[in-house]
Amino acid sequence: MTDLTAHPGGSWACHPAPINGELEMPGDKSISHRAVLLASLADGLSEIRGFLPGADCVATIAAMRSLGVQIELVQTDHLRVHGVGIDGLQAPGAPLDMGNSGTGMRLLAGVLAGQSFDSILTGDESLSSRPMMRIAAPLRAMGALVETVDGHAPLTITGRQPLQPIRYLSPVASAQVKSAVLLAGLHADGEVIVVEPGVTRDHTERMLSWLGCEIDFSNQRVSMAGGQRLTARDIDVPGDFSAAAFFIVAAAISARGEIVLRNIGVNPTRIGLLDMLTMMGADIALSEPRELGGELVSDIRIRGSELQGIDVPPELVALAIDEFPVFFIAAACASGTTRVSGAKELRHKESDRIAAMADGLTTLGIAARPQDDGIVISGGNLGSGVVRSHGDHRIAMAFAVAATVANGPVRIDDVANVATSFPNFVECSRLVGMRVQRLEPR
């Protein structure tokens, strides 16, 4: 088991050295998945630059290769994808192992629902514990044959099923559910509409549009005609905002800290963290706004500031769902109390992130009271100790950030899964003054 030890550095009281510097982030994980899937379904050759070579996204590459798509690795973050069209995939010779990737499994289920062959999607123990009925239900409503094991993976998908139009009122605000329906919709005989209870990330819609699909999306509704083909086009993947989040918070809680993050994706459906931190009093500025491959990109500057606890507005929850672990660290460093509700989705990630963060913060001396759908955190002084990551990459990285303002070292267990989303996290951390050490496996 691989662990991390992170030491104080850059806090208001514990160390004079600030957290500062300039960084570029690895490619966006969510967009990297979608780039491989949609370039594979397009007609022609696409070049993908800025691809995230993390374990989750590599699993998606392996799956598409097993489905007959030729994908060349030009450089670590540069792929050449020979698209086969929406009807050109081939039957895999074995189950498709998606590892720890919920995004990969749920989106690929949508792709496979309308194919002419049978397929099985499997994953590791963590992925096999996550809910899959949320995608099986709408796909079945479209006419697909999708079997689960008590609502979980493995998923068995029987091909050769004609897919019908659908107007799906999703009971959960989930970009993965929405994307699965849209990807299946490429084979539907008619219009596909998804209406959600809240705004979720729209990377799939933007990329479908980038590749020539006529699709209408705004707020909580998306619609498109089935049967459309995609045209190959080069895709530039912006820096991952979810990866940037760890350094955004590290700078915000650091004495005199200042970090500049270059070329970060600032899709409006992803940056709820910036809104929440700004409400807390964080000093954040965006500059050089531009568009890259249908996505909004900007540089982000963050300076250390004294934060105040807030009640998180419900409308921001879905816009920051992956960033909550590190946001909870900001809340632990803020004066007063921070309350989050309406975030039950956090209990169904790589770990139960509400419980995992509450346990870890309590270990470090912070009053963190988990609720059914959220948490209440009273800010205070972070202590040292050993915390469990529960094999969750975002929990591990969040507590590495916490250590920068702790009164002693923080040891985080079982951090191997950091490679799923941010393979060079330790190296980037050191570049801005964080004192993070990877320990030998035990």
The model's pLDDT over 79-129, given as tens digits with 9 standing for 90+, comes to: 999 999 999 999 999 999 999 999 999 999 999 999 999 999 999 998 999
* pLDDT for position 16: 42
* pLDDT for position 304: 92
* pLDDT for position 23: 96
Task: Give me 56's structure tokens.
Answer: 């989750």
Grade residue 421 by pLDDT with cuts at 50, 70 and 90: confident
What's the gap between Cα 236 and its chain centre? 18
What percent of the chain stands above pLDDT 90? 86
Query: Which residues does residue 47 pair with via DSSP β-bridges, in sequence order?
Result: 80
Whether 40 shows a pLDDT value over 70: the answer reads yes
Residue 42 near residue 230, CB atoms below 8 Å: yes
Alpha-carbon distance values, 241 to 31, 152, 156, 222 (Å):
11, 29, 33, 23
The model's pLDDT over 298-313, given as tens digits with 9 standing for 90+, comes to: 999 999 999 999 999 9
* pLDDT for position 14: 39
Give the chain's domains with CATH numbers. Answer: 4-25+239-438 (3.65.10.10), 29-225 (3.65.10.10)
Active site residue 322: yes
Grade residue 256 by pLDDT with cuts at 50, 70 and 90: confident
pTM: 0.90
Sheet holding 43-49, edge to edge: 70-75, 78-84, 43-49, 235-236
CA torsion sign for 380, 381, 385, 389 is: positive
* pLDDT for position 416: 79
Over residues 318-333, the mean pLDDT reads 96
Mean pLDDT lowest among 139-143, 267-271, 435-439: 435-439
Grade residue 4 by pLDDT with cuts at 50, 70 and 90: confident
Whether 316 shows a pLDDT value over 60: the answer reads yes
Residue with tokens 């529960």: 390
- CA-closest candidate to residue 418, choices 242, 250, 261, 276: 242
Query: In 10 A of CB 366, how many CB atoms?
Result: 23
Mean pLDDT lowest among 16-25, 267-276, 318-327, 402-411: 16-25
Residue type, 161: Q
* pLDDT for position 436: 87
Radius of gyration of the chain (CA): 21
Q: Which of 322, 352, 392, 413 is catalytic?
A: 322
The model's pLDDT over 381-410, given as tens digits with 9 standing for 90+, comes to: 999 999 999 989 999 999 999 999 999 999
Grade residue 7 by pLDDT with cuts at 50, 70 and 90: confident
Buried b (16+ CB within 10 A) or exposed e, 240-255: bbbbbbbbbbbbbbbb
* pLDDT for position 83: 98
* pLDDT for position 10: 44
Task: Give me 218's structure tokens.
Answer: 């705004």
Task: Give me 201's structure tokens.
Answer: 């990330």
Mean pLDDT score across all residues of the chain? 94
Query: In 10 A of CB 265, how many CB atoms?
Result: 26
* pLDDT for position 9: 66
The model's pLDDT over 160-216, given as tens digits with 9 standing for 90+, comes to: 999 999 999 999 989 999 999 999 999 999 999 999 999 999 999 999 999 999 999
In whole angstroms, give the CA distance from residue 357 to residue 232: 42
Q: Exposed, middle or buried by CB within 10 Å (0-12, 13-18, 19+), for 187?
A: buried
Grade residue 278 by pLDDT with cuts at 50, 70 and 90: very high
SS (H, E, C) the chain: CCCEEEECCCCCCCCCCCCEEEEECCECHHHHHHHHHHHHHCEEEEEEECCCCCHHHHHHHHHHHHCCCEEEEEECCEEEEEEECCCCCCCCCCCEECCCCHHHHHHHHHHHHCCCCCEEEECCCCHHHCCCHHHHHHHHHCCCEEEEECCEEEEEEECCCCECCEEEECCCCCHHHHHHHHHHHCCECCEEEEECCCCCCCHHHHHHHHCCCCEEEECCEEEEECCCCCECCCEECCECHHHHHHHHHHHHCCCCCEEEEEEEECCCCCCHHHHHHHHHCCEEEEEEEEEECCEEEEEEEEECCCCECCECCHHHCHHHHHHHHHHHHHHHHCECEEEECCCHHHHHCCCCHHHHHHHHHHHCCCEEEEECCEEEEECCCCCCEEEECCCCHHHHHHHHHHHHHCCCCEEEECCHHHHHCCCCHHHHHHHCCCEEEECCCC
* pLDDT for position 439: 64
What's the gap between Cα 202 and its chain centre? 13
Whether 12 shows a pLDDT value over 50: the answer reads no
* pLDDT for position 11: 39
Query: In 10 A of CB 72, how many CB atoms?
Result: 11
In whole angstroms, give the CA distance from residue 412 to residue 422: 16
* pLDDT for position 423: 84
More confident residue, 55 or 66: 66
- CA-closest candidate to residue 126, choices 404, 330, 414: 414
Q: What angle do CA 149, 324, 409 make, to 5 degrees?
A: 110
* pLDDT for position 267: 96
